Amino acid sequence: MLSLHPHLYFIYFYFSGRNTLQVRDSNTPEPTARVPLKRRRAEVCISRSSKCWSEDGATPCVLIETPHKELEPADQSSFKQYRFQNLFIRTPIPSLSWASADDVWVKMLNKELKYVHDKSYLQRHPKLQSKMRAILLDWLLEVSEVYSLHRQTAYLAQDYFDRFMLTQENVNKDYLQLIGITALFIASKIEEIYPPKIYEFAYVTDGACDVWDIQRTELHILKALDWKLCPETAISWLKLYAQVEAQKDDKNFLFPQFSQETYIKMAQLLDLCMMDINSLDYSYSILAAAAFYHFSSSFDIVHKVSSLTWESVVPCVRWMSPFMDILRSEVQPQLKNFPKVKADDRHNIQTHVAYLDLLRKAQERQIDNPECHMSPVALGTILTPPSSAEKPANP
pLDDT on residue 226 = 94
Q: What is the per-residue pLDDT for 174?
A: 92
**110 and 246 co-located in one domain:** yes
| Predicted pLDDT of residue 70 | 42
pLDDT score, position 187:
98
DSSP symbol at 251: G
Residue 135's pLDDT is what? 97
Residue 223: predicted pLDDT: 97
Instruction: Choose between 112 and 316: higher pLDDT.
Output: 316
| pLDDT of the residue at 29 | 52
Task: Tell me if 170 is assigned to some domain.
Answer: yes
Mean pLDDT of 370-377: 46
In sequence order, the β-bridge partners of residue 47 are: 171
Q: At what angle do helices 151-165 and 260-274 cross, to 10 degrees?
A: 20
- pLDDT for 253 equals 63
Look at residue 42 in the predicted model and tell me its pLDDT.
35
For the chain, how many structural domains are there in total? Answer: 2
248 and 286 part of one domain = yes
In which domain, by residue range, is 263 found? 89-115+232-382
Question: What are the backbone angles phi and psi of residue 19, rounded to the nearest 5°?
Answer: -65, 125
Question: Do 297 and 334 fall into the same domain?
Answer: yes
Same domain, yes or no: 220 and 313: no
pLDDT higher than threshold 70 for residue 316: yes
CATH of the domain at 108: 1.10.472.10
**Stretch 370-387: mean pLDDT:** 44
Which whole-number Å values give the CA distances from 138 to 13, 71, 72, 240, in the listed order?
A: 10, 38, 39, 24
List the beta bridge partners of residue 349: 150
- Domain termination residue (choose one: 190, 224, 258): 224
pLDDT for 251: 63
Q: Name the average pLDDT for the chain.
A: 78
The confidence score (pLDDT) of residue 370 equals: 59
Q: Which letter, b or e, does each residue of 75-93 get, where b requires 16 or more Cβ atoms within 10 Å of its Cβ?
A: eeeebeeeeeebbbeebbb
In this prediction, residue 249 carries a pLDDT of 65
Asked if the model's pLDDT at residue 379 lies above 80, the reply is: no
Q: Are residues 93 and 188 in the same domain?
A: no
Specify the pLDDT at position 250. Answer: 62
Residue 331 lies in a domain: yes
| 52-61, 108-117, 316-325: least confidently modelled range | 52-61
Nearest to 303 by CA among 387, 233, 374, 202: 387
Is residue 333 in some structural domain?
yes
376 domain residue, yes or no: yes
Under the banding of pLDDT at 50, 70 and 90, the label for residue 9 is very low
Q: Please state which of the ranges 82-86, 153-157, 325-329, 366-370 shows the lowest mean pLDDT.
A: 82-86
Residues 215-255 have pLDDT tens digits of 999 999 999 999 999 999 999 999 999 988 877 766 666 66
The more confident residue out of 13 and 324 is: 324
Region of poorest pLDDT, from 46-55, 112-121, 214-223, 322-331:
46-55
Q: What crossing angle do the helices spanning 355-368 and 310-328 adopt, rounded to 10°?
A: 120
Q: Which of 166, 198, 224 is the last residue in one of the domains?
A: 224
Indicate whether 218 and 251 sit together in one domain.
no
pLDDT-above-90 percentage for the chain: 52
Last residue of a domain, one of 224, 253, 282: 224
Do the domain assignments include residue 349? yes
Q: Which amino acid is at 127?
A: K
- The confidence score (pLDDT) of residue 101 equals 82
CA-atom Rg of the chain in angstroms: 21
Instruction: State the pLDDT at residue 14.
Output: 42
Contact, 5 vs 23, CB < 8 A?
A: yes
Judging by beta carbons within 10 Å of its beta carbon (0-12, 13-18, 19+), is residue 65 exposed, middle or buried?
Answer: exposed
3-state secondary structure of 355: helix
Q: Is residue 83 predicted with pLDDT exceeding 60?
A: no
Does residue 306 share a domain with residue 321? yes
The CA-atom distances, in angstroms, between 350 and each of 325, 327, 357 are: 22, 17, 18
Q: Which of 173-187, 208-222, 255-269, 378-392 has the lowest mean pLDDT?
A: 378-392
> What's the DSSP call for residue 350?
-
Predicted confidence band of residue 145 (pLDDT cuts 50, 70, 90):
very high
Closest CA to 176 of 121, 231, 116, 234: 121
Cα gap 289→277, rounded to integer Å: 18
pLDDT value for 185: 98
247 and 176 part of one domain: no
Q: Are residues 178 and 205 in the same domain?
A: yes
Structure confidence by residue, pLDDT tens digits, 153-210: 999 999 999 999 999 999 999 999 999 999 999 999 999 999 999 999 999 999 899 9
Asked if 283 and 118 touch (Cβ cutoff 8 Å), the reply is: no
Q: Tens of pLDDT along 17-49?
A: 444 454 445 455 555 444 444 434 333 334 433
Residues 372 and 365: beta-carbon distance below 8 Å: yes
